[in-house]
A and B are shown apart, each in its own frame.
Chain A
Amino acid sequence: MKNRRVLVVDDSVFARKNLARIVETFGGQVAGEAGDGMTAITEYDRTNPDIVLMDITMPQMEGIEAAEKIVGQHPEARIVMVSSVGYQENIVAALQRGARHFVQKPVKPEVLYEVIKYVLGEDGAVASAAGAGA
């Protein structure tokens, strides 16, 4: 994932810093940050990242809705949901609405790294919007 540009979306500054640190540890770049779903959509348009790390529970607009809107406008968008709430309905809803994978908090850096590589197709596989799952 060297030099891949990542948009980090989470309403928690603490969580954004943590995710940014993991991304940079593995050679990625933080293209932008957003604290809610609405801002995520505009930041996606502005930064055109390689991949988005998106929280689910956020004020104003939740992550699943934001993911759906981004994928609606950018079908090629690669979005990984990163949330502490990891029950099946949430995961299925996220995948059905355009996310490509799901990682549960607390995030293990090596797990996130493998998921990002997988979604970016850097591990030899290509994650499709409908088929890749947690």
Chain B
Amino acid sequence: MKMELIQPFINAADAVLAQGLQSPMSIGNLSMEQEAYRRKGVAALVAITGDIEGRIVFDLDPETALRVASHFAGGELPESDDLVRETVCELANQVTGNAVTTLNDQGFHFRVHPPVLHTSEHGPTNTEDTEALVICCETDRGNVFMNIALRYNVQLPGAQTAAAAK
């Protein structure tokens, strides 16, 4: 997976989380995930179709999800509150939406699907052309993990150039 696809997600996560949580965000570990995706806590999945296809999973451990959702709600929420899951879904939607806006400006066209709560413990095994990158976004409310698995669906001139340079 090429950095030109990833950087917009990092920038978008920075913008959305820093503004929403009113504190700086930093990028911790980046790792390639070879195994099937394993959920860490409250997770939301956003699918993308078009010139670039794949999915982004936002994953927060239950305590972090509760702290983040409580911050946005302006008060302490119970762990079981639907609003905790809703918050994670909307954050996934906002980060993905902002990232694909940038990618669209670079010439890629696609459709973003509404976020869905990811409830199964495991996701599909990644194939060679949809390897997943896991990005740990460190915030003062805890770590937000972005698991990004995307692939080019068409060979655009920009994609060919990037592939040749790799």
Chain B residues near A89: list those with CB within 8 A: 104, 109
Q: Is the CB of B16 within 8 A of A106?
A: yes
Chain B residues near A29: list those with CB within 8 A: none
Q: Is the interface of A mostly helix, strand, loop or mixed?
A: loop
What's the least CB distance linking B112 to chain A, in Å? 6
Say which residue of B73, B82, B86, B97 sits within 8 Å of A105 (CB atoms). Answer: B97
Give the CA-CA distance A119 to B82 in the complex, in Å.
33
Q: Is the CB of B97 within 8 A of A83?
A: yes
Chain A residues near B87: list those with CB within 8 A: 14
Give the CA-CA distance A106 to B95 in the complex, in Å.
9
Give the CA-CA distance A122 to B100 in the complex, in Å.
33
Closest residue of chain B to A83 (Cβ to Cβ) is B97
Interface centre among B82, B109, B113, B114 (most CB of A within 10 A): B114
Chain B residues near A105: list those with CB within 8 A: 93-94, 97-98
Chain A residues near B112: list those with CB within 8 A: 57, 85
- A57-B114, A58-B114, A106-B19 known; A12-B90 Cβ under 8 A: yes
Query: Does A84 have its Cβ within 8 Å of any Cβ on chain B?
Result: yes
Query: Does B43 have its Cβ within 8 Å of any Cβ on chain A?
Result: no
Chain A residues near B94: list those with CB within 8 A: 84, 105-106
Residue tally, chain B, CB below 8 Å to A: 29
What's the least CB distance linking A22 to chain B, in Å? 12
Query: Does B101 have its Cβ within 8 Å of any Cβ on chain A?
Result: yes
Say which residue of A13, A58, A86 sits within 8 Å of B97 (CB atoms). Answer: A86
Q: Is the CB of A11 within 8 A of B114?
A: yes
Say which residue of A11, A18, A104, A108 sits within 8 Å of B72 (CB atoms). Answer: A18
Q: Is the CB of B83 within 8 A of A13?
A: yes
Chain B residues near A18: list those with CB within 8 A: 72
Closest residue of chain B to A59 (Cβ to Cβ) is B114
Query: Does B6 have its Cβ within 8 Å of any Cβ on chain A?
Result: no
Say which residue of A13, A83, A86, A87 sits within 8 Å of B86 (CB atoms). Answer: A13
What's the least CB distance linking A60 to chain B, in Å? 10
Closest residue of chain B to A13 (Cβ to Cβ) is B86
Query: Does B15 have its Cβ within 8 Å of any Cβ on chain A?
Result: yes
Query: Does A15 have its Cβ within 8 Å of any Cβ on chain B?
Result: yes
Q: Which residues of A contact B (CB under 8 A)?
A: 11-15, 17-18, 21, 57-59, 83-89, 104-106, 108
**Interface CB pairs A-B, < 8 A, 5:** A14-B87, A14-B90, A57-B97, A87-B101, A89-B104
Instruction: List 12 other contacts, CB 8 Å, given A85-B112, A86-B98.
Output: A12-B89, A13-B83, A14-B83, A14-B89, A15-B90, A17-B83, A58-B114, A84-B96, A85-B97, A87-B104, A105-B94, A105-B98
